[in-house]
Amino acid sequence: MRLKYLFFVALLAIGLLSACAGNFDNTDAARDKDLTKPARVDNNTLDGTRDYRRNDIITNDTRTRNVRNMGRNVGDRNDTPKMRVADNVADRIAALPEVDSANVIVTENNAYVAAKLDDSSGKGLTSNIERKISNQVKAVDRDIDNVYVSVNPDFYDRTTTYAEDIRQGRPISGFFDEFTETVRRIFPNNVR
């Protein structure tokens, strides 16, 4: 009788120990309950939010775009690039005595200025001229936080083309990636 009792206690102890064992393979009973759901792969960003990857667009639970879509509208499932020409700002910059002409393209809170300087100055783009240009941009558009100025002739030509395309109503998505790459090349230390 004592042997049966010990056998029963041992069997009960084994059952209790195995039932209360740790979940070492990181499975969740609630998640595994319905095995007809598709496998959830790579949906944890490790920062407290969850990613849902749909056609290479990353959204979180608030349905806003991730940083990877910088310069694009961040509305409800709207992935259209947000880019505009600021002719009024360009006119104010061109009115500076050191500047012949300028193009200004704005994306979100960034202004990209391509300027042609007056040849008589001979100094090129000095920090003083850059500050004057930046002040003109921020005086006209208070939403601008960052002003990037270049006197690179290639950048000036490209921004002239981009500005014309935008004014004529051509789809921005067609050249937005090219513009982004050009900006990364011209301002390698400033683009996040």
Q: Tokens 């051509």 correspond to what residue?
A: 170
- For residues 61 and 100, state if they share a domain: no
Cβ neighbours of residue 159 closer than 8 Å, sequence gap 6 or more: 103, 105, 112, 114
Q: Tokens 């513009």 correspond to what residue?
A: 179
Give the containing element (helix H, strand E) for 13.
helix 2-19
- For residues 50 and 91, state if they share a domain: no
Would 11 be classed as within a structural domain? Answer: no
- For residues 88 and 106, state if they share a domain: yes
Would 39 be classed as within a structural domain? Answer: no
Distance CA 160, CA 150 (A): 13
- Given a contact cutoff of 8 angstroms between Cβ atoms, the answer to whether 132 and 98 are in contact is yes
Would 21 be classed as within a structural domain? Answer: no
- For residues 137 and 66, state if they share a domain: no
- Given a contact cutoff of 8 angstroms between Cβ atoms, the answer to whether 113 and 149 are in contact is yes
- For residues 137 and 96, state if they share a domain: yes
Closest CA to 156 of 117, 118, 91, 103: 103
The CATH number assigned to the domain holding 98 equals 3.30.70
Count the Cβ atoms, other than its own, within 10 Å of residue 6: 10
- Given a contact cutoff of 8 angstroms between Cβ atoms, the answer to whether 115 and 156 are in contact is yes
Give the number of domains in the chain: 2
Tell me the whole-structure pTM to 2 decimals: 0.57
Gap between the terminal Cα atoms of the chain: 77
Would 28 be classed as within a structural domain? Answer: no
Integer-rounded Cα Rg, in Å, for the chain is 30
- For residues 102 and 144, state if they share a domain: yes
User: Domain end: 28, 58, 78, which one?
Assistant: 78
- For residues 141 and 55, state if they share a domain: no
pLDDT tens per residue, the chain (192 residues)?
788 877 778 877 787 777 666 655 555 555 555 555 555 555 555 554 544 444 444 444 444 444 444 444 444 445 556 888 999 999 999 999 999 999 999 988 899 999 999 877 677 889 999 999 999 999 999 999 999 999 999 999 999 999 998 888 888 877 888 888 888 988 888 655
> For residue 72, what is the DSSP state?
B
* pLDDT in the model for residue 9: 81
Per the structure block, which two tokens stand in for 101? 């002409």
Q: In terms of residue numbers, what domain contains 53? A: 46-78
* pLDDT in the model for residue 27: 57
* Residue 48 C-beta-side C-alpha neighbours within 13 Å: 1
Count the Cβ atoms, other than its own, within 10 Å of residue 108: 16
* pLDDT in the model for residue 16: 75
* pLDDT in the model for residue 81: 63
- For residues 144 and 175, state if they share a domain: yes
- For residues 101 and 73, state if they share a domain: no
Give the containing element (helix H, strand E) for 101.
strand 99-107
- For residues 119 and 54, state if they share a domain: no
Give the containing element (helix H, strand E) for 59.
strand 57-59
